[in-house]
Amino acid sequence: MERLDKILAKSGYGTRKEVKQLIRAGRVELAGQVVTDPGLKISAPDVDNILLDGLKPQIHSSLIFMLNKPGGFITALSDARHDTIAEFIPPQWQNKGLVPVGRLDKDTEGLLLLTNDGQLSHRICSPKWEIEKEYHLIVQGRPFDQQDVEKFANGFKTRDGTEFRPSKLELIDGFEAYLTVFEGQYHQVKRMAKSTGREIKYLRRIRIADLELDPDLSLGELRMLTDEERENLYSACDLKDK
């Protein structure tokens, strides 16, 4: 049994105070009856019968969002010198313990997950779980060719001794490609490109596991994952949705 206001606040429908207000305002129903007591204790099966403004809220004990990160912002929640992705988190989602899952460089765009589930975040980033991350990239320098596709597919070691595991390079043309990696080393894509004699001109992450960047999200926009997206992500990480 858990308090109604706590259940809704934890799922991101406002601060405890805001949630209390919306319950008192009669916006919440339980099994067809308006509930105005924020402290009402709800049993686990009854959680499915909650309606907020006539709609079924997404009740989970973890929060997961996808952000379409624009360039020019660092992947951090505060920084004295740089703009951070914190400014894309609307007020009602702040102070919910959301942290970015791994890092995209300042100039990299695209899919960045934010969650308050540390175990999920760890598994997405850990090479042990081999979670796919797919990037769209444009290089300058020498064009890519079939030899590069094979080199990436076999994995390779750089002169400084760094080892990159096998990855999948799909050429769009010589300068533009999709690259899927199964680990998340620091500046990985840029270093992979550099060690084969190219500079990355543009980099955007477009997928993590089965989760694709929503094409309807413009740069700087964020949305909660759907129930189906959550389930797929948890199952890719061999975890149960919470």
β-pairing, 64-69 vs 109-115, is antiparallel
- Taking CB under 6 A as the binding criterion, the range among 43-51, 100-108, 149-157, 208-216 that sits at the site for ligand URA is 100-108
- Taking CB under 6 A as the binding criterion, the range among 47-55, 76-84, 182-190, 230-238 that sits at the site for ligand URA is 182-190
Expressed in angstroms, the distance from the first to the final Cα of the chain is 16
Q: Is 169 in the site for ligand URA (CB under 6 A)?
A: no
Q: What residues numbered 193-212 form the site for ligand URA, per CB under 6 A?
A: 203
Tell me which long-range contacts 211-218 makes (C-beta under 8 A, separation of at least 24).
Answer: 211/66, 211/111, 211/113, 212/111, 213/66, 213/68, 213/110, 213/111, 214/66, 214/68, 217/66, 217/67, 217/68, 218/68
- Taking CB under 6 A as the binding criterion, the range among 41-49, 151-159, 183-191, 232-240 that sits at the site for ligand URA is 183-191
Among 62, 108, 115, 196, binds ligand URA (CB under 6 A): 108
Is 241 catalytic? The answer is no
Indicate which residue of 46, 105, 214, 241 is catalytic. Answer: 105
Q: What residues numbered 24-83 form the site for ligand URA, per CB under 6 A?
A: none
Contacts of 152 (CB under 8 A, 6+ apart): 164, 166, 167, 168, 169, 179, 192
Give the footprint of ligand URA on this chain (CB under 6 A): 104-105, 108, 187-190, 203
Residues with a catalytic annotation lie at: 105
